[in-house]
Amino acid sequence: MHWVAYLVLSIGLPWGWLTLAPPLLMAWLLLKVSGIPMLEARLAETRAGYRDYMRTTSALVPWPPKRA
């Protein structure tokens, strides 16, 4: 939400639409590069049963559990 605040604050500026890039970049980095993938890879190696947990649980949004 922090990154989205800059977008909201700059909507009226001439090049304000460019502030859409940082929140999209940050979300992509967290979801695909450095955040969730690295953490889940480490936890899958060190915690018993974590692969089953990953298979049934959403990584970011608290959706209802998936079927195994």
Position 61 in a domain: no
Position 23 in a domain: yes
Position 62 in a domain: no
Per-residue model confidence (pLDDT) at position 17: 85
CA distances from 36 to 5, 8, 12, 25, 47 (A): 23, 26, 34, 14, 16
Structural domain that includes position 47: 2-56
Q: How many domains does the chain contain in total?
A: 1
Overall average pLDDT of the 16-42 stretch = 89
Q: Are 54 and 65 in contact (CB under 8 A)?
A: no
Position 13 in a domain: yes
pLDDT at 44 over 90: yes
- Looking at the chain, the whole-number percentage of residues with pLDDT higher than 90 is 25
Q: Are 30 and 43 in contact (CB under 8 A)?
A: no
Q: Give the pLDDT band (50/70/90) at residue 51.
A: very high
Where are the alpha helices (H) located in 1-68, listed in sequence order? 2-9, 21-28, 36-46, 50-56
Report the chain's terminal Cα–Cα distance, integer Å.
31
**pTM for this model (two decimals):** 0.63
pLDDT digits (tens, 9 = 90+) for 5-25: 888 888 888 988 888 888 889
